[in-house]
């Protein structure tokens, strides 16, 4: 199990949006956040990630 913060998940949502023009669910973003926070766990491996929530909209504070 790998832990990431809420801020890291939000940053991963933003990263996904910048590369795909779609907002994903926070529960999907934690997977991307873990890849960014713990790259040593995945180094030299082929990694596939499934994300969901293509209809999620960004909420302005």
Q: Where are the domains of the chain?
A: 1-55
* DSSP β-bridge partners for residue 56: 23
> How far is Cα 49 from Cα 27, in angstroms, rounded to an integer?
12
Q: Inform me whether the pLDDT recorded for 52 exceeds 80.
A: yes
Q: Is the pLDDT of residue 2 over 80?
A: yes
pTM of the model: 0.80
Question: CA-to-CA distance for 34 and 56, rounded, in angstroms?
Answer: 21
Report helix, strand or coil for 23: strand
Q: Per-residue pLDDT tens for 7-27?
A: 999 999 999 989 988 888 888
Mean per-residue pLDDT over the chain, rounded: 88
């Amino acid at each position: 199990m790998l832990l990431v913060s809420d801020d890291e998940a939000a940053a991963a949502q933003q990263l996904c949006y910048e590369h795909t023009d779609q907002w994903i669910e926070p529960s999907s973003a934690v997977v991307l956040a873990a890849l960014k926070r713990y790259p040593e766990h995945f180094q030299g491996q082929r990694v596939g990630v499934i994300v969901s929530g293509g209809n999620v909209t960004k909420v302005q504070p």
